[in-house]
Amino acid sequence: MRPAWLRGALILTLTFAAGAAAGVGYDRHVSSAHRVQPPPTDAEHVMQFMRAQLGLDSTQTAAIQTILAHHQHAVDSSWRTMQPKVRANLDSTLREIMGVLKPEQVGRFREMVHVMHPGMLP
């Protein structure tokens, strides 16, 4: 059994990798033809991002995929525990942002949110 600090560090690393992948996806979206596309956050896109940014070889890629698969259950369990609070905070944040937008921007913002966070801002 791994120490709690190690599990926490692994979860933080996975969260960072997913956030980085989402950031890259958003950056690509902004420079694309004004079409909203979901940012790549699934495991394969995260691995592609890590390979590109870190220059991973096939042995490293396989090892990291094994590590991610090994910890997926713990990550999923942690997410189920944290998800309601994260969702409430995200909802508050999105609603505050909408209060700053001009009326003609709100519809576009809702569309962006729907793609990135389905089910938010109904």
Q: What is the DSSP string of 10-70?
A: HHHHHHHHHHHHHHHHHHHHHHSSS-------SHHHHHHHHHHHH---HHHHHHHHHHHHH
Single-letter residue type at 120? M
Phi-psi region of 119 (alpha: psi -120 to 50; beta: other; left: phi over 0): left
Contact (CB, 8 A) for 111 and 103: no
pTM (predicted TM-score)? 0.44
In the chain, where the domains are located: 4-116
For 4-51, how does the pLDDT look when each residue is reduced to its tens digit (9 = 90+)?
Answer: 666 666 676 777 666 666 666 656 555 554 454 444 557 788 888 888
For 95-119, how does the pLDDT look when each residue is reduced to its tens digit (9 = 90+)?
Answer: 899 999 999 999 998 888 888 778 8
Structure tokens at 89: 């905070």
